[in-house]
Structure 1
Amino acid sequence: MAVGQVGSLSELENTVKSLQSSGEWSMEKGAKLAAVNGEILKIVTADTLKSSEDFMTAARLVQYDRGGLSECRLRYELTLTAMALGNDEAARAIASSWDQFLMSTGRRQHFGTQKALEGLQADKYKVQAPVTCVQTVLLNPEEARKLVKNLEGNDELRRLVEEDQKVRQGDWSKLTQEQLIAISREDDARRARLRSMLADIKIMTAQDYQDAALIMQHGCWWDDFALAHELALCATLLDPAIGRQLAALSYDRMLEYGGYLQRVGTQYHGRTLAEVDSVGFNDTMRKALGRKPLGEVEKVLGSGP
Protein backbone atom coordinates (compact mmCIF):
# COMPACT_ATOMS: atom_id res chain seq x y z
CA MET A 1 0.00 0.00 0.00
CA ALA A 2 1.31 3.44 -0.90
CA VAL A 3 1.35 5.81 2.04
CA GLY A 4 -1.26 8.50 1.38
CA GLN A 5 -3.92 6.11 0.11
CA VAL A 6 -6.60 4.48 2.23
CA GLY A 7 -5.89 0.77 2.28
CA SER A 8 -6.52 -2.26 4.42
CA LEU A 9 -5.02 -2.88 7.82
CA SER A 10 -3.09 -5.88 6.52
CA GLU A 11 -1.55 -3.76 3.76
CA LEU A 12 -0.47 -1.15 6.30
CA GLU A 13 0.98 -3.87 8.53
CA ASN A 14 3.04 -5.20 5.63
CA THR A 15 4.25 -1.67 4.84
CA VAL A 16 5.40 -1.12 8.43
CA LYS A 17 7.14 -4.50 8.59
CA SER A 18 8.94 -3.76 5.34
CA LEU A 19 10.09 -0.35 6.56
CA GLN A 20 11.25 -1.68 9.93
CA SER A 21 13.28 -4.46 8.32
CA SER A 22 14.84 -2.30 5.62
CA GLY A 23 18.15 -1.70 7.37
CA GLU A 24 19.57 1.51 8.78
CA TRP A 25 17.45 4.53 9.57
CA SER A 26 17.17 7.25 6.94
CA MET A 27 15.23 10.48 6.58
CA GLU A 28 13.02 8.84 3.96
CA LYS A 29 12.36 5.82 6.17
CA GLY A 30 11.59 8.05 9.15
CA ALA A 31 9.15 10.11 7.11
CA LYS A 32 7.31 7.02 5.88
CA LEU A 33 7.01 5.62 9.40
CA ALA A 34 5.82 9.00 10.66
CA ALA A 35 3.06 8.89 8.02
CA VAL A 36 1.75 5.57 9.35
CA ASN A 37 -0.36 7.22 12.05
CA GLY A 38 -2.16 9.25 9.41
CA GLU A 39 -3.00 6.03 7.60
CA ILE A 40 -4.34 4.51 10.83
CA LEU A 41 -6.54 7.57 11.33
CA LYS A 42 -7.93 7.07 7.82
CA ILE A 43 -8.69 3.42 8.59
CA VAL A 44 -10.43 4.37 11.85
CA THR A 45 -12.44 7.05 10.05
CA ALA A 46 -13.45 4.54 7.37
CA ASP A 47 -14.66 2.28 10.22
CA THR A 48 -13.09 -0.87 8.80
CA LEU A 49 -11.75 -2.13 12.14
CA LYS A 50 -14.27 -4.56 13.62
CA SER A 51 -12.68 -7.34 15.68
CA SER A 52 -10.58 -7.09 18.81
CA GLU A 53 -7.65 -8.37 16.75
CA ASP A 54 -8.14 -5.55 14.23
CA PHE A 55 -8.01 -2.90 16.94
CA MET A 56 -5.00 -4.46 18.64
CA THR A 57 -3.11 -4.74 15.36
CA ALA A 58 -3.82 -1.07 14.66
CA ALA A 59 -2.65 -0.14 18.17
CA ARG A 60 0.56 -2.09 17.64
CA LEU A 61 1.25 -0.22 14.40
CA VAL A 62 0.95 3.26 15.92
CA GLN A 63 4.30 5.07 15.82
CA TYR A 64 4.79 6.78 19.17
CA ASP A 65 8.55 7.30 19.50
CA ARG A 66 8.10 11.06 19.89
CA GLY A 67 5.77 10.56 22.84
CA GLY A 68 3.30 13.16 21.61
CA LEU A 69 -0.27 13.34 22.89
CA SER A 70 -2.01 12.54 19.60
CA GLU A 71 -0.07 9.33 18.89
CA CYS A 72 -0.06 8.08 22.49
CA ARG A 73 -3.77 8.81 22.82
CA LEU A 74 -4.48 7.00 19.54
CA ARG A 75 -2.54 3.95 20.68
CA TYR A 76 -4.23 3.95 24.09
CA GLU A 77 -7.75 4.25 22.71
CA LEU A 78 -7.21 1.46 20.18
CA THR A 79 -5.78 -0.75 22.92
CA LEU A 80 -8.67 0.14 25.23
CA THR A 81 -11.18 -0.82 22.54
CA ALA A 82 -9.43 -4.13 21.89
CA MET A 83 -9.35 -4.81 25.63
CA ALA A 84 -13.07 -4.05 26.01
CA LEU A 85 -13.71 -6.54 23.20
CA GLY A 86 -11.84 -9.22 25.14
CA ASN A 87 -8.44 -9.25 23.45
CA ASP A 88 -5.81 -10.91 25.66
CA GLU A 89 -2.87 -9.06 24.11
CA ALA A 90 -4.64 -5.76 24.78
CA ALA A 91 -5.25 -6.81 28.38
CA ARG A 92 -1.52 -7.31 28.82
CA ALA A 93 -0.67 -4.07 26.99
CA ILE A 94 -3.16 -1.70 28.63
CA ALA A 95 -0.89 -0.67 31.54
CA SER A 96 1.98 0.21 29.21
CA SER A 97 -0.28 2.10 26.82
CA TRP A 98 -1.86 3.97 29.74
CA ASP A 99 1.58 4.95 31.05
CA GLN A 100 2.52 6.30 27.63
CA PHE A 101 -0.67 8.33 27.48
CA LEU A 102 -0.18 9.77 30.98
CA MET A 103 3.37 10.80 30.16
CA SER A 104 2.21 12.43 26.92
CA THR A 105 0.03 14.75 29.05
CA GLY A 106 3.03 15.76 31.16
CA ARG A 107 2.10 13.50 34.09
CA ARG A 108 3.92 10.69 35.87
CA GLN A 109 3.54 7.15 34.63
CA HIS A 110 1.74 4.86 37.08
CA PHE A 111 3.13 1.40 36.40
CA GLY A 112 6.79 1.88 35.53
CA THR A 113 6.47 0.32 32.10
CA GLN A 114 8.37 3.15 30.37
CA LYS A 115 12.14 3.04 30.91
CA ALA A 116 14.69 5.81 30.49
CA LEU A 117 17.94 5.25 28.65
CA GLU A 118 20.70 5.01 31.22
CA GLY A 119 21.64 8.46 32.44
CA LEU A 120 19.02 10.29 30.36
CA GLN A 121 15.99 12.14 31.79
CA ALA A 122 15.64 9.79 34.75
CA ASP A 123 13.27 12.17 36.55
CA LYS A 124 10.84 12.09 33.63
CA TYR A 125 10.37 8.35 34.11
CA LYS A 126 9.65 8.34 37.83
CA VAL A 127 6.55 6.42 38.87
CA GLN A 128 3.47 7.65 40.72
CA ALA A 129 2.17 4.23 41.65
CA PRO A 130 -1.58 3.62 42.02
CA VAL A 131 -3.14 1.60 44.83
CA THR A 132 -2.15 -2.06 45.04
CA CYS A 133 -5.56 -3.39 43.99
CA VAL A 134 -5.19 -1.55 40.67
CA GLN A 135 -1.65 -2.82 40.12
CA THR A 136 -2.75 -6.39 40.86
CA VAL A 137 -5.18 -6.43 37.94
CA LEU A 138 -3.59 -4.15 35.35
CA LEU A 139 -0.10 -5.62 35.62
CA ASN A 140 -1.24 -9.25 35.55
CA PRO A 141 -4.87 -9.58 34.41
CA GLU A 142 -4.64 -13.31 33.77
CA GLU A 143 -3.54 -14.04 37.34
CA ALA A 144 -6.07 -11.53 38.71
CA ARG A 145 -8.92 -13.43 37.08
CA LYS A 146 -7.85 -16.53 38.98
CA LEU A 147 -7.60 -14.64 42.28
CA VAL A 148 -11.16 -13.28 42.14
CA LYS A 149 -12.83 -16.65 41.73
CA ASN A 150 -15.15 -17.22 44.72
CA LEU A 151 -14.17 -13.82 46.15
CA GLU A 152 -17.00 -12.12 48.05
CA GLY A 153 -17.97 -8.48 47.66
CA ASN A 154 -16.99 -5.76 50.13
CA ASP A 155 -19.99 -4.79 52.29
CA GLU A 156 -18.64 -1.38 53.29
CA LEU A 157 -17.92 -0.50 49.68
CA ARG A 158 -21.46 -1.50 48.74
CA ARG A 159 -22.80 0.78 51.49
CA LEU A 160 -20.65 3.69 50.27
CA VAL A 161 -21.85 3.38 46.68
CA GLU A 162 -25.47 3.11 47.81
CA GLU A 163 -25.04 6.37 49.73
CA ASP A 164 -23.36 7.93 46.69
CA GLN A 165 -26.27 6.98 44.44
CA LYS A 166 -29.04 7.84 46.90
CA VAL A 167 -28.17 11.54 46.94
CA ARG A 168 -28.23 11.56 43.12
CA GLN A 169 -31.79 10.31 42.69
CA GLY A 170 -33.59 13.63 43.10
CA ASP A 171 -33.79 16.84 41.08
CA TRP A 172 -30.63 18.79 41.90
CA SER A 173 -32.06 21.94 40.36
CA LYS A 174 -34.39 22.16 43.34
CA LEU A 175 -31.64 21.90 45.97
CA THR A 176 -30.53 24.89 47.99
CA GLN A 177 -26.92 26.08 48.05
CA GLU A 178 -26.58 24.68 51.56
CA GLN A 179 -27.81 21.26 50.42
CA LEU A 180 -25.38 21.21 47.49
CA ILE A 181 -22.50 22.10 49.80
CA ALA A 182 -23.53 19.31 52.18
CA ILE A 183 -23.59 16.77 49.32
CA SER A 184 -20.15 17.93 48.16
CA ARG A 185 -18.74 17.44 51.64
CA GLU A 186 -20.31 13.99 51.87
CA ASP A 187 -18.73 13.11 48.50
CA ASP A 188 -15.35 14.28 49.79
CA ALA A 189 -15.72 12.12 52.89
CA ARG A 190 -16.71 9.04 50.86
CA ARG A 191 -13.73 9.42 48.55
CA ALA A 192 -11.39 9.86 51.50
CA ARG A 193 -12.78 6.72 53.13
CA LEU A 194 -12.55 4.84 49.84
CA ARG A 195 -8.90 5.79 49.33
CA SER A 196 -8.16 4.62 52.86
CA MET A 197 -9.89 1.31 52.18
CA LEU A 198 -8.16 0.74 48.85
CA ALA A 199 -4.75 1.21 50.46
CA ASP A 200 -5.28 -2.09 52.31
CA ILE A 201 -6.89 -4.17 49.56
CA LYS A 202 -4.95 -6.40 47.16
CA ILE A 203 -7.82 -7.36 44.86
CA MET A 204 -11.61 -7.06 44.70
CA THR A 205 -14.52 -8.41 42.69
CA ALA A 206 -15.38 -6.81 39.35
CA GLN A 207 -18.46 -5.27 40.96
CA ASP A 208 -16.37 -3.80 43.78
CA TYR A 209 -14.02 -2.18 41.25
CA GLN A 210 -17.06 -0.81 39.42
CA ASP A 211 -18.54 0.58 42.66
CA ALA A 212 -15.24 2.14 43.68
CA ALA A 213 -14.89 3.71 40.22
CA LEU A 214 -18.38 5.20 40.48
CA ILE A 215 -17.53 6.87 43.79
CA MET A 216 -14.28 8.29 42.40
CA GLN A 217 -16.14 9.43 39.27
CA HIS A 218 -17.82 12.01 41.50
CA GLY A 219 -14.46 13.57 42.36
CA CYS A 220 -13.22 17.01 41.48
CA TRP A 221 -9.85 16.82 39.71
CA TRP A 222 -7.68 14.81 37.30
CA ASP A 223 -6.28 12.35 39.85
CA ASP A 224 -9.78 11.42 41.07
CA PHE A 225 -10.93 10.65 37.54
CA ALA A 226 -7.69 8.88 36.59
CA LEU A 227 -8.18 6.56 39.56
CA ALA A 228 -11.84 6.11 38.60
CA HIS A 229 -10.69 5.14 35.10
CA GLU A 230 -8.10 2.68 36.41
CA LEU A 231 -10.68 1.08 38.69
CA ALA A 232 -13.08 0.83 35.75
CA LEU A 233 -10.33 -0.77 33.67
CA CYS A 234 -9.90 -3.38 36.40
CA ALA A 235 -13.64 -4.06 36.41
CA THR A 236 -13.59 -4.38 32.61
CA LEU A 237 -10.68 -6.80 32.63
CA LEU A 238 -12.45 -8.98 35.19
CA ASP A 239 -15.91 -8.64 33.59
CA PRO A 240 -16.34 -6.45 30.47
CA ALA A 241 -20.12 -6.36 30.91
CA ILE A 242 -19.66 -4.62 34.26
CA GLY A 243 -16.83 -2.17 33.71
CA ARG A 244 -16.68 -0.89 30.15
CA GLN A 245 -19.31 1.87 30.31
CA LEU A 246 -17.71 3.47 33.35
CA ALA A 247 -14.34 3.20 31.62
CA ALA A 248 -15.82 5.44 28.91
CA LEU A 249 -17.44 7.85 31.36
CA SER A 250 -14.36 8.25 33.52
CA TYR A 251 -12.08 8.68 30.51
CA ASP A 252 -14.23 11.48 29.09
CA ARG A 253 -14.51 13.23 32.44
CA MET A 254 -10.79 12.98 33.08
CA LEU A 255 -10.04 14.47 29.67
CA GLU A 256 -12.43 17.34 30.25
CA TYR A 257 -10.94 18.21 33.63
CA GLY A 258 -7.49 18.05 32.06
CA GLY A 259 -8.42 20.68 29.50
CA TYR A 260 -9.02 18.29 26.58
CA LEU A 261 -12.18 17.55 24.61
CA GLN A 262 -14.06 14.37 25.43
CA ARG A 263 -13.83 11.47 22.98
CA VAL A 264 -16.74 9.09 23.60
CA GLY A 265 -19.49 11.65 24.16
CA THR A 266 -20.72 11.09 27.72
CA GLN A 267 -20.30 14.47 29.41
CA TYR A 268 -22.73 17.37 29.55
CA HIS A 269 -22.30 21.00 30.49
CA GLY A 270 -25.56 21.67 32.23
CA ARG A 271 -28.07 19.97 29.93
CA THR A 272 -26.03 20.34 26.73
CA LEU A 273 -23.65 17.69 25.41
CA ALA A 274 -20.10 18.98 25.71
CA GLU A 275 -18.01 19.22 22.54
CA VAL A 276 -16.65 15.89 21.32
CA ASP A 277 -13.35 15.37 19.48
CA SER A 278 -14.05 12.40 17.20
CA VAL A 279 -10.84 12.50 15.15
CA GLY A 280 -9.56 8.94 15.35
CA PHE A 281 -12.52 7.76 17.45
CA ASN A 282 -15.56 6.15 15.82
CA ASP A 283 -18.90 4.59 16.71
CA THR A 284 -17.53 1.04 16.66
CA MET A 285 -15.19 2.09 19.45
CA ARG A 286 -18.11 3.67 21.33
CA LYS A 287 -20.11 0.46 20.98
CA ALA A 288 -17.19 -1.59 22.31
CA LEU A 289 -17.32 0.61 25.42
CA GLY A 290 -21.05 0.05 25.81
CA ARG A 291 -22.11 3.46 24.50
CA LYS A 292 -24.45 4.61 21.72
CA PRO A 293 -23.30 5.95 18.34
CA LEU A 294 -22.63 9.67 18.66
CA GLY A 295 -25.54 10.49 16.34
CA GLU A 296 -27.93 8.80 18.79
CA VAL A 297 -26.67 10.67 21.85
CA GLU A 298 -28.94 13.44 23.12
CA LYS A 299 -27.46 16.84 22.34
CA VAL A 300 -29.70 18.38 25.01
CA LEU A 301 -30.87 16.16 27.86
CA GLY A 302 -34.53 15.25 27.45
CA SER A 303 -34.74 16.36 23.82
CA GLY A 304 -33.87 13.12 22.03
CA PRO A 305 -30.88 12.58 19.70
Structure 2
Amino acid sequence: MSAVWRVVTLAALLGTPALAGGGPRVATSVLLGGASCQPYIGRVTFGVTPDTGASREMARIVALDQAARQPGQIDWAVVAREDEARRTQTLALLRAGRLSSAADYFNAALVFQHGNCPQHYQLAHLLAGQALARGAPASDTLPVGWLFAATFDRWQLSLGRPQAYGTQFSNTPDRCEWRLEPVDAVTTDAQRERLGVPALGLARAQADIMNARCRGELP
Protein backbone atom coordinates (compact mmCIF):
# COMPACT_ATOMS: atom_id res chain seq x y z
CA MET A 1 0.00 0.00 0.00
CA SER A 2 1.78 3.17 -1.14
CA ALA A 3 1.89 6.58 0.49
CA VAL A 4 0.12 8.09 -2.51
CA TRP A 5 -2.69 5.61 -2.07
CA ARG A 6 -3.03 6.70 1.54
CA VAL A 7 -3.21 10.38 0.59
CA VAL A 8 -5.85 9.73 -2.04
CA THR A 9 -7.85 7.57 0.36
CA LEU A 10 -7.77 10.32 2.98
CA ALA A 11 -8.98 12.79 0.36
CA ALA A 12 -11.95 10.54 -0.38
CA LEU A 13 -12.74 10.28 3.34
CA LEU A 14 -12.68 14.06 3.74
CA GLY A 15 -14.54 14.72 0.52
CA THR A 16 -11.83 16.93 -0.97
CA PRO A 17 -8.61 16.58 -3.02
CA ALA A 18 -6.00 16.44 -0.26
CA LEU A 19 -3.16 18.23 -1.99
CA ALA A 20 -5.08 20.64 -4.18
CA GLY A 21 -6.03 23.33 -1.62
CA GLY A 22 -9.58 24.47 -0.93
CA GLY A 23 -11.48 22.17 1.41
CA PRO A 24 -14.85 20.57 2.06
CA ARG A 25 -17.88 22.76 1.42
CA VAL A 26 -19.86 21.22 4.26
CA ALA A 27 -18.93 20.11 7.75
CA THR A 28 -17.90 16.47 8.02
CA SER A 29 -17.73 14.20 11.04
CA VAL A 30 -15.72 11.16 12.03
CA LEU A 31 -16.24 8.72 14.90
CA LEU A 32 -13.14 7.37 16.61
CA GLY A 33 -13.00 4.92 19.50
CA GLY A 34 -10.18 4.44 21.95
CA ALA A 35 -11.45 3.23 25.30
CA SER A 36 -7.95 3.57 26.76
CA CYS A 37 -7.41 7.07 25.40
CA GLN A 38 -7.15 10.02 27.73
CA PRO A 39 -9.44 11.62 26.74
CA TYR A 40 -11.75 9.31 24.79
CA ILE A 41 -12.45 10.84 21.39
CA GLY A 42 -15.92 9.86 20.19
CA ARG A 43 -17.40 11.93 17.36
CA VAL A 44 -15.62 15.04 16.12
CA THR A 45 -16.73 17.49 13.45
CA PHE A 46 -14.51 19.29 10.96
CA GLY A 47 -16.34 22.59 10.63
CA VAL A 48 -16.39 25.12 7.79
CA THR A 49 -17.72 28.24 9.52
CA PRO A 50 -15.00 30.63 10.77
CA ASP A 51 -15.00 31.06 14.54
CA THR A 52 -12.44 33.66 15.59
CA GLY A 53 -12.93 32.89 19.28
CA ALA A 54 -12.22 29.19 18.73
CA SER A 55 -9.20 30.01 16.55
CA ARG A 56 -7.75 32.22 19.26
CA GLU A 57 -8.33 29.51 21.87
CA MET A 58 -6.71 26.88 19.64
CA ALA A 59 -3.70 29.15 19.08
CA ARG A 60 -3.39 29.64 22.85
CA ILE A 61 -3.55 25.88 23.48
CA VAL A 62 -0.88 25.02 20.92
CA ALA A 63 1.40 27.81 22.17
CA LEU A 64 1.37 26.18 25.60
CA ASP A 65 1.95 22.77 24.01
CA GLN A 66 5.06 24.02 22.23
CA ALA A 67 6.35 26.07 25.17
CA ALA A 68 6.27 22.95 27.37
CA ARG A 69 8.81 21.34 25.02
CA GLN A 70 11.43 24.07 24.90
CA PRO A 71 14.97 22.89 25.69
CA GLY A 72 15.81 22.75 29.37
CA GLN A 73 14.83 20.74 32.42
CA ILE A 74 11.50 19.16 31.43
CA ASP A 75 9.40 17.25 33.94
CA TRP A 76 7.67 14.84 31.56
CA ALA A 77 5.20 13.70 34.22
CA VAL A 78 3.95 17.29 34.49
CA VAL A 79 3.92 17.71 30.71
CA ALA A 80 1.86 14.50 30.35
CA ARG A 81 -0.81 15.87 32.69
CA GLU A 82 -0.82 19.22 30.92
CA ASP A 83 -0.96 17.49 27.52
CA GLU A 84 -4.08 15.60 28.57
CA ALA A 85 -5.74 18.86 29.61
CA ARG A 86 -4.81 20.46 26.27
CA ARG A 87 -6.23 17.48 24.37
CA THR A 88 -9.45 17.75 26.36
CA GLN A 89 -9.75 21.46 25.55
CA THR A 90 -9.03 20.84 21.87
CA LEU A 91 -11.50 17.97 21.75
CA ALA A 92 -14.25 20.20 23.11
CA LEU A 93 -13.72 22.57 20.17
CA LEU A 94 -13.72 19.66 17.71
CA ARG A 95 -16.85 18.05 19.14
CA ALA A 96 -18.64 21.39 18.79
CA GLY A 97 -17.47 21.75 15.18
CA ARG A 98 -15.88 25.12 15.99
CA LEU A 99 -12.55 24.56 14.21
CA SER A 100 -12.58 25.33 10.50
CA SER A 101 -9.39 26.93 9.19
CA ALA A 102 -6.14 25.37 8.02
CA ALA A 103 -4.37 26.95 10.99
CA ASP A 104 -6.98 25.55 13.40
CA TYR A 105 -6.45 22.00 12.15
CA PHE A 106 -2.67 22.34 11.98
CA ASN A 107 -2.60 23.46 15.61
CA ALA A 108 -5.01 20.74 16.72
CA ALA A 109 -2.87 18.12 14.94
CA LEU A 110 0.19 19.32 16.85
CA VAL A 111 -1.69 18.86 20.12
CA PHE A 112 -2.99 15.37 19.32
CA GLN A 113 0.31 14.08 17.99
CA HIS A 114 1.33 14.23 21.66
CA GLY A 115 -1.44 11.77 22.53
CA ASN A 116 -1.32 8.52 24.45
CA CYS A 117 -3.16 6.03 22.23
CA PRO A 118 -3.38 5.03 18.54
CA GLN A 119 -6.68 6.86 18.07
CA HIS A 120 -5.10 10.13 19.20
CA TYR A 121 -2.44 9.75 16.52
CA GLN A 122 -5.09 8.78 13.98
CA LEU A 123 -7.01 11.94 14.81
CA ALA A 124 -3.81 13.98 14.54
CA HIS A 125 -3.31 12.53 11.05
CA LEU A 126 -6.87 13.38 10.01
CA LEU A 127 -6.44 16.90 11.37
CA ALA A 128 -3.19 17.34 9.46
CA GLY A 129 -5.04 16.12 6.37
CA GLN A 130 -7.68 18.78 6.93
CA ALA A 131 -4.97 21.43 7.24
CA LEU A 132 -3.35 20.15 4.05
CA ALA A 133 -6.66 20.10 2.19
CA ARG A 134 -7.42 23.67 3.21
CA GLY A 135 -4.07 24.92 1.95
CA ALA A 136 -2.16 25.54 5.17
CA PRO A 137 0.64 28.05 4.54
CA ALA A 138 4.16 26.73 4.06
CA SER A 139 6.45 26.78 7.06
CA ASP A 140 10.21 26.49 7.11
CA THR A 141 10.15 24.98 10.59
CA LEU A 142 7.29 22.48 10.34
CA PRO A 143 5.61 22.07 6.92
CA VAL A 144 2.07 20.75 7.02
CA GLY A 145 3.03 17.98 4.60
CA TRP A 146 5.69 16.78 7.01
CA LEU A 147 3.16 16.84 9.86
CA PHE A 148 0.73 14.81 7.73
CA ALA A 149 3.47 12.20 7.17
CA ALA A 150 4.74 12.24 10.76
CA THR A 151 1.31 11.73 12.29
CA PHE A 152 0.71 8.80 9.97
CA ASP A 153 4.06 7.30 10.98
CA ARG A 154 3.35 7.76 14.68
CA TRP A 155 -0.09 6.19 14.25
CA GLN A 156 1.32 3.15 12.45
CA LEU A 157 4.10 2.61 14.98
CA SER A 158 1.56 2.76 17.81
CA LEU A 159 -0.24 -0.15 16.11
CA GLY A 160 2.98 -2.19 15.90
CA ARG A 161 3.40 -1.55 12.18
CA PRO A 162 6.39 -0.03 10.36
CA GLN A 163 6.25 3.65 9.58
CA ALA A 164 5.80 4.77 5.98
CA TYR A 165 7.78 7.98 5.62
CA GLY A 166 10.68 7.67 8.07
CA THR A 167 9.97 10.61 10.36
CA GLN A 168 10.14 8.82 13.72
CA PHE A 169 13.26 8.08 15.75
CA SER A 170 13.81 6.43 19.12
CA ASN A 171 16.61 6.58 21.66
CA THR A 172 17.74 4.35 24.49
CA PRO A 173 17.38 6.44 27.68
CA ASP A 174 20.66 8.02 28.85
CA ARG A 175 22.57 6.55 25.91
CA CYS A 176 23.62 7.88 22.52
CA GLU A 177 21.71 5.27 20.54
CA TRP A 178 19.30 7.15 18.33
CA ARG A 179 17.85 4.99 15.59
CA LEU A 180 15.28 5.34 12.85
CA GLU A 181 12.19 3.26 13.64
CA PRO A 182 11.39 0.48 11.11
CA VAL A 183 10.21 1.77 7.73
CA ASP A 184 8.16 -0.15 5.17
CA ALA A 185 9.75 -0.77 1.78
CA VAL A 186 6.82 0.44 -0.31
CA THR A 187 6.93 4.21 0.17
CA THR A 188 9.27 5.95 -2.29
CA ASP A 189 11.47 8.99 -1.87
CA ALA A 190 9.37 10.71 -4.52
CA GLN A 191 6.33 10.30 -2.30
CA ARG A 192 8.31 11.63 0.65
CA GLU A 193 9.43 14.64 -1.38
CA ARG A 194 5.83 15.40 -2.26
CA LEU A 195 5.14 15.95 1.44
CA GLY A 196 8.38 17.73 2.27
CA VAL A 197 9.91 14.70 4.01
CA PRO A 198 13.65 13.97 3.60
CA ALA A 199 14.75 10.98 1.55
CA LEU A 200 15.12 7.78 3.55
CA GLY A 201 18.91 7.84 3.23
CA LEU A 202 19.00 11.31 4.77
CA ALA A 203 16.78 10.16 7.63
CA ARG A 204 19.17 7.31 8.39
CA ALA A 205 22.09 9.73 8.25
CA GLN A 206 20.27 12.01 10.69
CA ALA A 207 20.31 9.25 13.30
CA ASP A 208 24.10 9.05 12.94
CA ILE A 209 24.38 12.83 13.30
CA MET A 210 22.26 12.84 16.47
CA ASN A 211 24.42 10.10 17.96
CA ALA A 212 27.61 11.98 17.10
CA ARG A 213 26.24 15.14 18.73
CA CYS A 214 25.19 13.17 21.78
CA ARG A 215 28.76 11.84 22.11
CA GLY A 216 30.19 15.34 21.73
CA GLU A 217 31.78 14.59 18.37
CA LEU A 218 29.78 17.34 16.60
CA PRO A 219 28.71 20.82 17.77
Q: Aligned-pair distance for 1:129?
A: 6.8
- Contact 1:79-1:93 at 8 Å conserved across structures: no
Task: Give the aligned partner of residue 111 of structure 2.
Answer: 215
Q: Aligned-pair distance for 1:170?
A: 1.2
Q: Aligned-pair distance for 1:130?
A: 4.1
Task: Give the aligned partner of residue 34 of structure 2.
Answer: none
- In the alignment, does 2:53 pair up with 1:155? no
Task: Give the aligned partner of residue 105 of structure 1.
Answer: none
Task: Give the aligned partner of residue 79 of structure 1.
Answer: 5
What amino acid is the match of 2:163? Q
* More helix by percentage: 1
Structure 2: gaps spanning 5 or more residues = 16-28, 32-40, 172-176, 214-219
Under a length normalisation based on structure 2, what TM-score does the superposition of the two structures give? 0.70
**After the TM superposition, which parts of structure 1 deviate over 6 Å for at least 4 consecutive aligned residues?**
none
Once residues 280 and 301 of structure 1 are traced to their aligned partners in structure 2, the CA distance between those partners, rounded to angstroms, is 25
What amino acid is the match of 1:258? L
Q: Aligned-pair distance for 1:111?
A: 5.4
Task: Give the aligned partner of residue 247 of structure 1.
Answer: 148
What amino acid is the match of 2:4? L
**1:163-174 maps to which residues of 2 (within 5 A)?**
163-171=64-72, 174=73
2:190 corresponds to which of 257, 260, 284: 284
Under a length normalisation based on structure 1, what TM-score does the superposition of the two structures give? 0.52
Q: 1:222 to 1:286 in 2, by over 3 A?
A: same
- Contact 2:30-2:44 at 8 Å conserved across structures: no
- Contact 1:266-1:273 at 8 Å conserved across structures: no
**1:181-192 maps to which residues of 2 (within 5 A)?**
181-192=77-88
- In the alignment, does 2:181 pair up with 1:275? yes
Task: Give the aligned partner of residue 50 of structure 1.
Answer: none
Once residues 301 and 198 of structure 1 are traced to their aligned partners in structure 2, the CA distance between those partners, rounded to angstroms, is 39
Task: Give the aligned partner of residue 127 of structure 2.
Answer: 231
Task: Give the aligned partner of residue 19 of structure 2.
Answer: none
Q: Aligned-pair distance for 1:275?
A: 2.9
Q: 1:257 to 1:288 in 2, by over 3 A?
A: same
* More strand by percentage: 2
Q: Aligned-pair distance for 1:222?
A: 0.3
**What is the CA deviation profile of residues 209-237 of structure 1, one whole-angstrom value per residue up to 9, with x for unaligned ones?**
00000000001110110110010000000
Structure 1: gaps spanning 5 or more residues = 1-73, 84-89, 97-109, 113-127, 137-143
Aligned length: 177
Q: 1:181 to 1:203 in 2, by over 3 A?
A: closer
What amino acid is the match of 1:165? Q
Once residues 228 and 203 of structure 1 are traced to their aligned partners in structure 2, the CA distance between those partners, rounded to angstroms, is 14
What amino acid is the match of 1:93? A
Once residues 224 and 267 of structure 1 are traced to their aligned partners in structure 2, the CA distance between those partners, rounded to angstroms, is 16
Q: 1:111 to 1:158 in 2, by over 3 A?
A: closer
Once residues 68 and 82 of structure 2 are traced to their aligned partners in structure 1, the CA distance between those partners, rounded to angstroms, is 10
Once residues 220 and 246 of structure 1 are traced to their aligned partners in structure 2, the CA distance between those partners, rounded to angstroms, is 17
Once residues 265 and 282 of structure 1 are traced to their aligned partners in structure 2, the CA distance between those partners, rounded to angstroms, is 11
**Corresponding residue SS for 1:131:** strand
Q: Aligned-pair distance for 1:201?
A: 2.0
Once residues 230 and 180 of structure 1 are traced to their aligned partners in structure 2, the CA distance between those partners, rounded to angstroms, is 26
Identity of aligned residues (%): 28
Once residues 94 and 279 of structure 1 are traced to their aligned partners in structure 2, the CA distance between those partners, rounded to angstroms, is 25
**What is the CA deviation profile of residues 165-205 of structure 1, one whole-angstrom value per residue up to 9, with x for unaligned ones?**
0011114xx44xxx221111001111111111211125411
**Corresponding residue SS for 1:299:** helix
Task: Give the aligned partner of residue 93 of structure 1.
Answer: 12
Once residues 149 and 94 of structure 2 are traced to their aligned partners in structure 1, the CA distance between those partners, rounded to angstroms, is 22
Q: Aligned-pair distance for 1:276?
A: 2.9
Q: Which has the higher contact order (CA 8 A, sep 6+)?
A: 2
CA RMSD of aligned residues (A): 2.8
**Corresponding residue SS for 2:130:** helix
Q: Aligned-pair distance for 1:253?
A: 0.5
What amino acid is the match of 1:79? W
